[in-house]
Amino acid sequence: MTQLLERAVKQISSLPDKEQDALAEMILAEVKSEKRWDEQFESSQDTLSAMATVALTEEKVGKTSDLDLSRDFS
């Protein structure tokens, strides 16, 4: 365990049980979300590779244009 995590756990352990549980639920949800993201990213490599090939091919044949970075997209 890192020193930072040890400090966090020490501070969290001084909180009331209800707050400790709330923080634990948040941490567990974040870990689960990160794991799901990693799995989805890993399983999408073939699709991303195919998309990159299409994009590079379109660039070679002149079907692309430069981005207008001065545009406001909001």
Specify if 57 maps to a domain: no
The number of distinct structural domains making up the chain is 1
Model-wide pTM > 0.75: no
Specify if 53 maps to a domain: no
* Amino acid at the residue 18: K
Specify if 32 maps to a domain: yes
What are the structure tokens assigned to 71, written together? 């545009």
pLDDT tens-digit series, residues 57-69: 999 999 998 888 8
CA distance 53 to 49: 6
Specify if 58 maps to a domain: no
> Average per-residue pLDDT in the chain?
94
pLDDT tens-digit series, residues 9-29: 999 999 999 999 999 999 999
Domain that holds residue 15: 11-40
CB 48 within 8 A of CB 59: no
Specify if 16 maps to a domain: yes
Specify if 17 maps to a domain: yes
Specify if 20 maps to a domain: yes
Specify if 3 maps to a domain: no
Among the listed residues 57, 42, 15, the one whose alpha carbon sits nearest the alpha carbon of residue 24: 15
Please say whether the dihedral angle defined by the alpha carbons of residues 55, 59, 60 and 62, taken in this order, is positive or negative.
positive
